[in-house]
Amino acid sequence: MGDSDVAVVFEEESTMFKRIIGIAVSGLLVVAGIAPWDSAFAGSVENSGVSSTQNTRSNDIGKAGGRQTRAPGAVSQSSEQSENTDSCVPQVGKLASCLVNSSFDYPYDLSFNNAGWDDWARVDPQQGPTSPWQTVSDWSYERFGWNSTQTVSPVGAVEVRRDAESNNRYAEITESQLNTSIYQDIKTVPGATYRWSLRHTSKTRGFVDKMQVVIGAPGQEQVQNNVMRTVSNGNDSVGGPLTEIATKVTNSSPANHEGQWETYEGEYVVPKGETTTRFMFQATASPSYDSGNEVDDITFVKTRSLTYDANGGEQVAYGH
């Protein structure tokens, strides 16, 4: 074996060793409760041969579809799935410390108006589906999770929609009133940083729907100005920061959004003394008073907490 052959073998073994180390470190961090998708760690793992987005949710591609452009360092939603799935269920009368019903799949046997071509359902968070009227035997306000600021009749209604071709469910922020919001109140940890993400699409190509993410203690919410577009449908550029979410689309049908969704992300640091945080989406521009601003696949995950030592120094503790 010549010197060049030895060099090749050494290089291959070195690369394999880096990959093994990267996977082992990632596994240890997960066991320890440390978020391995933090940007600082993601770079070191990627350099070791392990992709930070290789475990993207199966429907991460199916729901976005079409031409996708992902920003460098974009968060894989599979990393956040443990705290943001439909299995996140609070106790009756108590706030959950995680996002509930993040993809609007509860109630699972929901009936829809205009089934097959323009599926929509109106839900009263306290009572259950009201249009079409449906009795859900195990209806739970806590499991549904979502509320609305709508003040016209039907007050507080949340609209859930379903695409005709994919059967994908999502929410439409504008139910029967312009400039309304849907939201959840979540039990949070003061000093902690929460990373959030959502998918957004406009109703159709005839109008660019716009919305804002508003977060804070109930009644003290603030518009988020650090929003990043991390996955594009090909009609917008990735990047930011943005204060308003606006998604250009090409679909003409209001019941088919395959390939139209874009992903937006940001971070929120919970202020001192705030133990309940309202995570809210406000429609700022919709095509009509009763339609527009579709949202889906929402996450809100604690990534790290700030603590303070006796000497006044700032320490960062990672994990959930």
The per-residue pLDDT for range 109-131, each reduced to its tens digit, is 999 999 888 899 999 999 999 99
Put residue 225 in one of left, alpha, beta given phi > 0 → left and psi -120 to 50 → alpha.
alpha
pLDDT given for residue 200 in this prediction: 98
Find all residues with CB under 8 Å of 268, minimum gap 6, and list them.
193, 194, 196, 215, 224, 277
Q: What is the pLDDT of residues 238-278, one digit of tens each?
A: 999 999 999 999 999 999 999 999 999 999 999 999 999 99
- Is residue 319 within 8 A of residue 33, CB to CB? The reply is yes
Q: Is the pTM of this model over 0.75?
A: no
What is the C-alpha to C-alpha distance for residues 208 and 266, in angstroms, rounded to an integer?
21
